[in-house]
Amino acid sequence: MHSSLANVRLAGLAVSTGSVVRDYLAEGLAHGLDRAVLERTAQTVGLRERRVAAPGVTALDLCEDAARRLFAAAGLDASSVDAVIFVTQTPDHPQPNNASFLQARLGLAKGVAAFDLSLGCSGWVYGLHQAALLCAHGGAGRVLLCAGDTLSRLTHPQDRSTDPLFGDAGSAALIERTGGAAPWHFELGADGSGAGAIIVPQGGARAPAGSRPLTVVPDFDGNGRHAENLAMQGGEVFNFTLREVPAAVASVLRHAGYAAATTDGLVLHQANRFVVSAVGRKCGFPPEKTPDGIAERFGNQSSASIPCALTEAYGERLAVGPLRLALCGFGVGWSWGAVAGEFGPLVVAPVQPFPRQA
Amino acid sequence: MSSPSRLAALQADVDLFAGATTSTRLEALPGWGSLAVLLVILHCETKHGLTVTSAQVRACATVGDLLSLIPETP
């Protein structure tokens, strides 16, 4: 679906990461894996360390921290928000949604619209579209978009195809109605034929938690996981990404009248350096315009990875903005969301761990 | 691209194929696994403009089988 929304702006960004640092090489050696193979994989994929949530900390906690820091940095009162959108696939509970908890925790007005979007790595762009839609046509003046996950809780330590990849993070963004802003051009899509390629098979209504024994079963590569762990078919996901993302990015660039040479950057979901650099090249962007190092420091942060990349790679320039950017998230579903437009000037709070270290 | 050229190109891109021949069994290569599958997919895409699926790669038993996924060109 294509959608163009004008008279909206991104007013602020903040990201809070998990506080526990996991080292790829040390963990692999502890699993008895060969150092040379680990080092080669680390170099090829871009795996160094990741930050996961401390015990008891959830995506809701991480996003609340990010939102509080963002309100403080922007000098705004939380009561000025008209809607809160929470993008996550690791909510605190099956019911109620995280957005309702966040309304109470942050002291948002009772009149806010508060809802969750169940999306993963494409979710920040989907959420941005919903927030922009509420501002452009829905009567909202300011929307708080929170996006984050604790995917490290879903992987099995014996599954080396997923466990070393994921970090935990929560993000907060403010989207506002404004006069005279050029449109943002979105492309949103889904291909449910790939729904089984990234899946937690058990724990929902179709296969309730505990309905089958949690027996660890090895796959093709000897990676072990049980039915309530995240399972990912990496090759199929890579095929999907190379197929759909360049087309979505090309579409939003075309609608915006941008080319790679006239765009300040392409910010892709930070799956890992290998995927980001391959997709960036296929999109026609040079490496210097395609930041790819976020997962190497923080892990794959699901829906929080694009705001983290924006903050880390473009924070200083966005603070004085504007920049012409294309963004694209892609993953579980399969789903994807791309946007092109001008971003900044905006308030950018630094990426920080939660809880903060003493 | 001839068969030896295709093997040389694969070896240049993906170092785990260094020293391999067309008869080398993939499971005998140190490091053969999910990451290697991604590297082969990317090699086919970038060097040959060819989309191969993970299932196609995993169905191969030898390096020669892998090379047969890439059409020979003059």
Smallest CA–CA separation between A34 and chain B, in Å? Answer: 10
A348 vs A316: CA distance, rounded Å: 8
Looking at residue B25, the DSSP 8-state letter turns out to be B
Is B10 part of any domain? yes
- Residue A124 near residue A276 (C-beta atoms within 8 A): no
| A284 contacts in chain B (CB < 8 Å) | none
Domain span at B60: 3-67
Q: Quote ipTM for the complex.
A: 0.86
A268 vs A313: CA distance, rounded Å: 12
Q: Specify the pLDDT at position B5.
A: 87
CATH of the structural domain A1-358, one choice from 3.20.20.100, 3.40.1350.10, 3.90.1300.10, 3.40.47.10: 3.40.47.10
Nearest by CB to B33, which of A221, A274, A278?
A: A221
A287 vs A272: CA distance, rounded Å: 14
Q: Specify the pLDDT at position B74.
A: 63
What are the extents of the domains in chain A? Answer: 1-358
Q: Say whether B34 and A221 touch across the interface (CB within 8 A).
A: yes
The residues, any chain, with a CB within 8 Å of residue A230's CB and separated by 6 or more, are A151, A154, A155, A162, A166, A198, A199, A200
Is residue B69's pLDDT more than 70? yes
Smallest CA–CA separation between A281 and chain B, in Å? Answer: 9
- Residue A243 near residue B45 (C-beta atoms within 8 A): no
Q: Say whether A221 and B30 touch across the interface (CB within 8 A).
A: no
Is B72 part of any domain? no
Q: In a 3-state reduction of DSSP, which class is residue B22?
A: coil
Q: Say whether B38 and A161 touch across the interface (CB within 8 A).
A: no
Interface test with A, best of B27, B45, B56 (most A CBs within 10 A): B45
Q: Say whether B53 and A239 touch across the interface (CB within 8 A).
A: yes
Q: Find the residue in A nearest to B45 (Cα).
A: A242
Active site residues of A: 121, 269, 300
Tens-place pLDDT, residues B40-52: 999 999 889 899 9
Nearest by CB to B41, which of A40, A233, A235?
A: A235
A187 vs A55: CA distance, rounded Å: 37
Give the number of domains in chain B.
Answer: 1
Is residue B55's pLDDT more than 70? yes
| A37 contacts in chain B (CB < 8 Å) | 30-31
Is B62 part of any domain? yes
CATH of the domain at B25: 1.10.1200
A83-87 vs A142-150, strand pairing mode:
parallel
Strand runs labelled E in A200-307: 217-218, 224-225, 231-232, 265-268
Output B70 or A269, whichever has higher pLDDT. Answer: A269
Interface test with B, best of A160, A161, A193, A221 (most B CBs within 10 A): A221
Q: How many helices (H) and strands (E) are present in chain B, helices listed first?
A: 4, 0
Nearest by CB to B38, which of A40, A235, A282?
A: A235
Tens-place pLDDT, residues B10-23: 999 998 899 999 99
CB atoms within 10 A of CB A164: 26
Beta bridge partners of A336: A189, A330
The residues, any chain, with a CB within 8 Å of residue A62's CB and separated by 6 or more, are A16, A17, A18, A53, A148, A150, A168, A169, A170, A304, A354
Q: Specify the pLDDT at position A37.
A: 85
Is B56 part of any domain? yes
Is B74 part of any domain? no
Mean pLDDT value across residues B61-68: 95
Q: Specify the pLDDT at position A292.
A: 97
Is residue B1's pLDDT more than 70? no
- Residue A327 near residue A339 (C-beta atoms within 8 A): yes
Average pLDDT, 10 consecutive residues per value, chain A (358 residues): 98 98 96 89 94 98 98 96 98 97 98 98 98 96 98 95 96 96 97 97 97 92 94 94 97 98 98 96 97 97 98 98 97 98 98 91
Smallest CA–CA separation between A329 and chain B, in Å? Answer: 20
What is the widest separation between alpha-carbon atoms in chain B? 32
